[in-house]
Structures are given as C-alpha cells and as structure tokens.
Amino acid sequence: MIKILFVCTGNICRSPLAEGILREKLSRNDVTAHIDSCGFESFHVGDPPDIRAQKVALERGIDISLHRARLFTIRDFERFDYIYAMDSSHFNKIIGMARNETDKSKVDYMLNVLYPGQNRSVIDPWYHDLKAFDDVYRQLDEACELVVKKIIADFQLK
C-alpha cells in the first residue's frame, strides 16, 4: 500500500485539504492508500482544520472535520513513501531532518506535480479570506488529480 504525507505549517489549512482531496480521489478510483498530513508549528496540535478549510472541502463533498493537527517527526520518513511540502520553508525543514539520501528522495514540493522542478509554493490561506481557501482547494485538487494518475500508472492499478 502506498503511503503519502502532506506537510504545511500548522496542519490546519493546506495539508489537511490535500489529505482530504487525495483520499477522496483515491477512493473514487478504488485505490487503497494511507494518506496523512502534519505540520511544523505546535500551536495547533490536536486542533481540527481551520473552519474555512472545512467549509471549502465540505462544499465539494469532502469532510475533513475529524482530522487533528500533529507535528512532523523523523519517524515519518519510515512511515511514508512520498512526502509533499507545501512551500520552501516546509521543504527545507523536512530535508534538514532527513537522516540520509533515502529520506531526502521521498520529499518534494506539492506543486512540482503540476510544475516539475519549479518548486512553487501553495499559498498559505490562513491570512486571507475564504476566496484564498477556494483558490488553494482548486490548486490542490488539480495537483492531487495528477498524483492519482501517477499512482495508478506507476503501480499499474487499472
């Protein structure tokens, strides 16, 4: 079973949205996977996703309300095959914690799925209005669609 982790700052906006979107897309394609998300800032540990993230997801039929924020740990390198960072600060922190080249090889920017090698960031909607959450949702939805296609192709699932 493939295991994918999404990482952002507080694990209440971008990464739980990506987790929910990918989980839903994989389920629709009858692909079994372990999907999770986490963050680097401890001030939201144990909290549910931001209400705005929950709203934009629920409007599209995805319930992320049961998610609870947690921190990234070194153990995540062992638990996951792919680790997607939402921006350069997350990417650099993850790489900084990597123990070896195998750990590093699991890490990429989320938007490199859409824009290979460009290392673009998913904007942090936390400081913005609901429209920013909608924009982030659309961006993550597009990227997750390609992740699903890659998984299906790489693992010859269909």
List active site positions: 8, 14, 124
What amino acid is encoded at 117 in this protein? G
Residue 154 parent element (H or E): helix 130-154
Q: Would you state the torsion angle of the CA atoms of residues 98, 106, 12, 67, taken in this order, to the nearest 10 degrees? A: -110
- DSSP element (H, E) containing 5: strand 2-8
Backbone dihedral region of 65: left (phi > 0), alpha (psi from -120 to 50 degrees) or beta?
alpha
User: Residue 149 carries which side chain, given as an amino acid letter?
Assistant: K
